[in-house]
Structure 1
């Protein structure tokens, strides 16, 4: 069925339009189907992401065991229950770290890492006193090596000259060391009157003076002349 209508336009014109009715079918989506599909999808996702409850194969550590493992890790040792190989590796690593720490402390002059012969305020005073002086004894070892090499030559005059120089060096070293010990002992007696505290300081001072300055351990804290050694800047 159709109906025609006249539609007026400006200026007196008009045109006819027809209104027709067509049969149609409207489709509606059921809410039940959407809900069913969503629920099934959620169930599949949950089943895929949910971990399977499988046994761990080992008992859960107790609180005491966990605390012991944490302390062992902080100390650098093997955890409780470690194999013998792991224990040997951990012990070797710990020993290397201890040696490196002891060497670093000894080079800094830390009393905790010094040998027994270098510990104490008296020995430190002796080291500083010897290191702050320029002595002939510190050149004794290099000169002795040169004299020994020259003495291997079979030239009679050269050997006589080397022998004379060697005796002269010994006399100079002995005199210089004696003067140093006299001055050192006078200062030690003023600060440490007890003779027991000054036991063995003369031999300690002589051995310190005979060493090459750059090879002395612990390293010198003072340069020749009394100026303190500047600390090395970290790289």
Structure 2
């Protein structure tokens, strides 16, 4: 077999073997940099931009909804923020309240009003009002209990006024409360 003579390096090969000084290319001019950064303020495809903005807003709303359901402080409205409000939520969620049964009882009374017998309707309405009075008394009692517990935990002068907040949470069905209950029944906060 015949040996091939070594080839002579071309100018390009010699240039690649030599170390480059600096970055190896000219510095772009200001005009070139500005041209590279230019983007239109409004896209040409407005329908696509609208779809993208709508999808982004929907994703942000979904993150906020999930965060609020979890009880994440960042996503809670101002009325639900703070350690005292969290304590109240946990205390209300740990106990059974008569107010939780108020909405189902109202539904039963509405069904009873369709029965033509006036005595059944009358009994349903009286039972509803009696239960409403019991639920209101339970909410007032809850307000006093929560206020006393807050004063014990956070101090006499630092306790917020949370009676109405506690009562409104206690009157909701447990599964419909927002933020969702973080404790089980009977698991009172310390």
TM-score normalised over the length of structure 1? 0.58
| Count of residue pairs the alignment pairs up | 155
Greater strand share, 1 or 2?
1
Q: Deviations over 1:101-133 (max 9, x none)?
A: 112211221111111221122211111110010
> Aligned pair 1:108/2:70, yes or no?
yes
The one of the two structures with greater contact order (alpha-carbon pairs below 8 A, sep at least 6) is 2
Separation of aligned partners in 2, 1:62 and 1:226: 66
How far did 1:84 drift?
Answer: 5.3
Q: Which of 1 and 2 has greater Rg?
A: 1
Q: Take 1:113 and 1:99, find their aligned partners in 2: how far apart are those partners?
A: 10
**1:173 has 2:156 as partner:** no
> What corresponds to 1:208 in structure 2?
169
Once structures 1 and 2 are overlaid, which stretch shifts more, 208-217 or 143-152? 143-152
CA distance in 2, matches of 1:138, 1:202: 17
Q: Which runs of 4+ in 1 moved over 6 A?
A: none
Distance in 2 (CA, whole Å) between partners of 1:167 and 1:227 is 30
Structure 2 residue runs of 5 or longer lacking an equivalent are: 1-30
CA RMSD of aligned residues (A): 2.5
Residue ranges of structure 1 left out of the alignment (5+ in a row) = 1-60, 70-79, 229-235
Matching residue of 1:89: 51
**Partners in 2 of 1:181 and 1:193 — Cα distance?**
16
Give yes or no for the alignment of 1:156 onto 2:106: no
Alpha-carbon shift at residue 227 of structure 1 (Å) = 7.2
Q: 1:65 to 1:213 in 2, by over 3 A?
A: farther
